Structure 1
Amino acid sequence: MSRGRIAGKSAIVTGAGSGIGRGIAKCFAEQGAAVTVADMALEAAEETVAQITASGGRAIAVRTNVTSAEDVASMVDATVTEFGGVDILVNNAGISFGDTLKLHELEQDAWQLIMDVNLTGVFLCCKHTLPSLIARGGGSIVNIASAAAIGMAPRAAYAASKGGVVAITRSLAFQYGENNIRVNAICPGPVETPMSNAVRASGMYDDDGIVDLSIKRRGTPEDIANAALYFASDEARYVTADVLSVDGGALRLRAERFRGR
């Protein structure tokens, strides 16, 4: 795959064993990048790699717990060894399990785990990947946040963690612009993934009663992957510190309805 919008680039995608991460990893490989598929579940990561290589792409699977500095450092080392460096980092790994609709019912351990994975994980992956991006003369970091970070957010821990992702995105864009490193975030709305399906199946809430969409369908991992591809490519070479909503118009529609009340 020598041709494509990110041909010749090397990318790390965390949480790429399923859902949005798998969609991004496959999209990047189709567009010419060599991809490190990082995930806690090694078998799931290997399945993503199998799908990529079956289509002629290049990819490796690395078991990675993004809350572990040692794991993250090993993930970056494996990428540098296999592909010569890192040009693109996509921080996608995230969880929402254990969150509640009432903060006083939320267990501290659940709060901490969500923060560790969703926010500290982003910190660690950026910290350990930035030296390679600097050595390559620049690159792109794409952080997957959430519509919950900038709109109505039923689950406080998840929203707070993703709000932190938006904040760190803008800070890093300021800190590393001089190194030709662009840092942007994507805020997905409702997307059909194993994680979102598990939340709905848990009975925590019927999000059909919470989420309004202008586009009358849930998103797909491919919808988010296309946005990530834009940020990762040279087409976005003058775009940094941006936060892009890919949510079917949910935030705008809801804002209009609130203003009408």
Structure 2
Amino acid sequence: MNAKQKIAVVTGAGSGIGRAVAPVLSGAGWSVVLAGRHTETLEETAAAVGTAVGSAAQSAADVLTVRTDVSVPEDVDALFAVVRERYGRLDLLFNNAGTFGPAGYALDELPFSAWQKVVNTNLTGAFLCAQGAFRLMKAQDPQGGRIINNGSISAHTPRPNSVAYTATKHGMTGLTKSLSLDGRPYRIACGQIDIGNAATDMTAQMQRGVPQANGELAVEPVMDAADVARTVLHMAELPLEANIQFATVLATTMPYVGRG
């Protein structure tokens, strides 16, 4: 490996924001490890990276896929073992894997199994991946690295009937702050990107109409996920002496700020 090569892990890389971020990082010269639950979708992302970036940039960086369920500690341990064995270090974790969970349940009707699945993926999974990255970044020489957590504007304001997702994203903010504090002695920086209505499979319903706080159903605007990816790259490429603690990137006219 080139001593100056930058190494990134992207979780939830098989679709959505992860799939948008991977080619942008690779195009900037990062070697990217794609982690996700489904080998087929990871391979599709890897192919998309190659198509978007082209052979010239790929000569300086590579793409690796590792099937990983972030809610399973053994899977996460295996992911970071692969990173350590192949590259010897890690410069960036984009802690992106997440799920909204089943839609349409009122709080008093939400099955415990659904609550548990969202918490296990969004919060426990984020912790496990952050812990794995932290261990590697702390032990490597030179020491340090960066963790970027995918928060969501639901880390600030809930949607109707979204208690599990909202609770985990508020928890992500606490995780980000703790990682920032605990990482200081080891040159490990941590920031959070809170995203509103990027155009992905998860937000496809926005363009058909989603429930609002006043009980109405309304179509909401979306933005290109590439705009999110460029923001992640900017956060990632800051020197470790600087950190974007929180960044909010959202569709300009979505009903979030003020009353809509």
Give the TM-score category using the shorter length: 0.7 to 0.9
SS, match of residue 256 in structure 1: coil
What is the rounded CA distance, in whole Å, between the counterparts of 1:89 and 1:46 in structure 2?
A: 19
**Identity score, percent:** 31
Change beyond 3 A, Cα 1:53–1:82: farther
Q: Let me know the Cα RMSD of the aligned residues.
A: 2.4
TM-score norm. by structure 1 comes to 0.85
Give the helix-richer structure, 1 or 2: 1
Please show how residues 174-213 of structure 1 align to structure 2 within 5 Å: 174-197=181-204, 205-206=210-211, 209=217
Change beyond 3 A, Cα 1:114–1:184: same
Q: Deviations over 1:65-102 (max 9, x none)?
A: 00011111111111222222211001111111224452
Partner of 2:227: 223
2:14 is aligned, of 10, 14, 17, to: 17
Partner of 1:246: 249
1:133 is aligned, of 132, 137, 154, to: 137
What amino acid maps onto 2:159 in structure 1?
A
In structure 2, runs of 5+ residues without a counterpart are none
What is the rounded CA distance, in whole Å, between the counterparts of 1:236 and 1:225 in structure 2?
A: 19
What is the rounded CA distance, in whole Å, between the counterparts of 1:39 and 1:106 in structure 2?
A: 26
SS, match of residue 85 in structure 1: coil
SS, match of residue 257 in structure 1: coil
Partner of 1:257: 259
What is the rounded CA distance, in whole Å, between the counterparts of 2:225 and 2:241 in structure 1?
A: 24
TM-score norm. by structure 2 comes to 0.86
Is 1:34 aligned with 2:40?
no
2:95 is aligned, of 91, 95, 101, to: 91
What is the rounded CA distance, in whole Å, between the counterparts of 1:150 and 1:15 in structure 2?
A: 22
In structure 1, runs of 5+ residues without a counterpart are none
Please show how residues 65-84 of structure 1 align to structure 2 within 5 Å: 65-84=69-88
2:127 is aligned, of 123, 128, 143, to: 123
Change beyond 3 A, Cα 1:24–1:53: same
